[in-house]
Amino acid sequence: MALMTGEAYIESIRKLNMQVYMFGKKVEDPVDDPILRPSLNSVRMTYDLAQKPEYQDLMTAVSGLTGERVNRFTHIHQSAEDLVKKVKMQRLLGQQTAACFQRCVGMDAFNAVYSTTYEIDKKHGTHYFENFRKFAAYVQENDLTVDGAMTDPKGDRSKAPHEQADPDLFLHIVERREDGIVVRGAKAHQTGVLNSHEVIVMPTQSMRAEDADYAVSFAVPTDTPGITMIIGRQSCDTRKREGGELDVGNSEFGGVEALTIFEDVFVPNERIFMCGEYEFAGMLVERFAGYHRQSYGGCKVGVGDVLIGAAAVAADYNGAAGASHIKDKLIEMTHLNETLYACGIACSAEGHPTESGNYLIDLLLANVCKQNVTRFPYEIARLAEDIAGGLVVTAPSEADLRDPKVGPYVEKYFRAAPGVSTEDRLRILRLIENLTLGTAAVGYRTESMHGAGSPQAQRIMIARQGNLPMKKRLAKQIAHIKD
């Protein structure tokens, strides 16, 4: 099958019979719901750009499984160059959507599961690697979008999965059959799951022998019986139902998360990639987290480019672009953003092959990248709000601007630099609001903190990967100290 067009992607999602709930009601038509559609448009962009010759090198790759050209979001990384192109692709998509385009989790799950299943098979003589290769080839041949599901609700964080008062707080196996397994539980914060054809489930943390039933990885279609999605609430989300587009800020694109319930879901044997091999849960989590922390050096940078541009436009419209402190703030925003990008490129360029043959990023640098992402976008957002001014949060609505009675007052009193319309000024301010406070902030500011693991998770990995004993030896050698 050729690469899917964006329109064909939309229609393929429309054919799925997913169980989606929002605001206490079942969503009968998720594709055309005004709150949900912008998130679908963001995924569509990953298909539309792959159709453009000028983006072929970034958006597509030649599959090591089929030999055919595939969307890079379904690709198994074959080199450090592949890893670098991944980050560049993510920056491009962030620039084009100013939102979360939702396919990174599936791509990162693809590559983590690929190498981990190889090593499980090597130790246990299982057939997970072949299972996954067949699944990956199926996804590539049909150009499907895949969600990666790792985060469990976790319940009491002080207790292991098997110690929880409610065993379902971590997704687990409840029945083993000759033809497959039955699982129960939930995955939280699932970005883009309702815009995906398939979902790959992974364990959420390292496991002990007592947690063997929780050490499970598999893939199923998103409309499999027993799967229910409950859409997460976002700031300003109902503005999308008001009919206007100015107040939304970014009316075309967005992201969406869901609590995804697995209520006695059957998984056939050929779709199982881990089934009780608890000692490999940590490896899978570590590799997935590394890939996903690399991703943030691309996607967040692309959205940051848009936010920096919006702040610069706001300064122009306010008549303040010539002020030295404004110039300095824009420089600082750019410095922070490019530092994130440098980390994403660095951990990619230092990538190396796994035993299975696909490439893994440098885990230390990937975790440094994400640690910076937990901080820098917050400062970039603060500076954007500083430059834009208080009107970001006090501007009247689009309905007031259009109103025959009060509209002229809005026009008169919120006009600024000569030649700039009040409407254009309000549009750029609403975009800044969207990126720093509104629905897009979920995929930029807040996700920068908690996506791919909390800041402490990266610090733990930095401690593990930092090789402090080697650095001690270097210091003693230079100081001529003998043990």
pLDDT at 349: 98
pLDDT of residue 439: 85
pLDDT tens, 241-266? 998 999 999 999 999 999 999 999 99
Is 191 catalytic? The answer is: yes
- CA–CA gap between residue 58 and residue 406 (Å, rounded): 49
347 has catalytic annotation? no
Per-residue pLDDT tens over the stretch 76-104: 999 999 999 999 999 999 999 999 999 99
- Does the pLDDT value for residue 146 go beyond 70? yes
pTM recorded for the entire structure? 0.97
Q: Tell me: pLDDT of 1 over 70.
A: no
Task: Band the pLDDT of 483: cuts 50, 70, 90.
Answer: confident
Annotated catalytic residue, options 74, 97, 191, 374: 191
User: Is 447 labeled as catalytic in the residue annotation?
Assistant: yes
Q: Which residue ranges make up each domain of the chain?
A: 6-278, 283-474
CA atoms of 341 and 393, how far apart (whole Å): 30
Active-site annotation holds for 270:
no
Considering the candidates 277, 286, 385, 447, report the single residue annotated as catalytic. Answer: 447
Mean pLDDT of the 472-478 span: 97
Q: 303-312, 391-400, 439-448: which has the minimum mean pLDDT?
A: 439-448
CATH class held by domain 283-474: mainly alpha
Please report the pLDDT score of residue 294 as a whole number.
98
Average pLDDT over residues 130-152: 98
Same fold, 6-278 and 283-474: no
CATH code for the structural domain at 6-278: 2.40.110.10
Which of the residues 198, 257, 277, 433 is marked catalytic? 257
User: Is 100 assigned a catalytic role?
Assistant: yes
Q: Is 162 a catalytic residue?
A: no
Q: Which two tokens stand for residue 481?
A: 């100290």
- Mark out the alpha helices in 50-181 (DSSP H runs): 56-59, 80-97, 104-124, 128-142
Catalytic-residue membership of 296:
yes
- Catalytic residue list contains 292: yes
Give the pLDDT confidence score for residue 337 in this predicted structure.
98
Catalytic residue among 75, 197, 292, 359: 292
pLDDT exceeds 70 at position 54: yes
The residues, ordered by sequence, that sit 6+ positions from 457 with a Cβ below 8 Å of its Cβ are 289
Q: Which residue has the higher pLDDT, 442 or 472?
A: 472
Q: What is the pLDDT of residue 445?
A: 87
Query: Which of 47, 74, 97, 104 is flagged as catalytic?
Result: 104
Sign of CA dihedral 57, 60, 65, 67: negative
Catalytic residue of the set 114, 128, 296, 444: 296
- pLDDT at position 2: 79
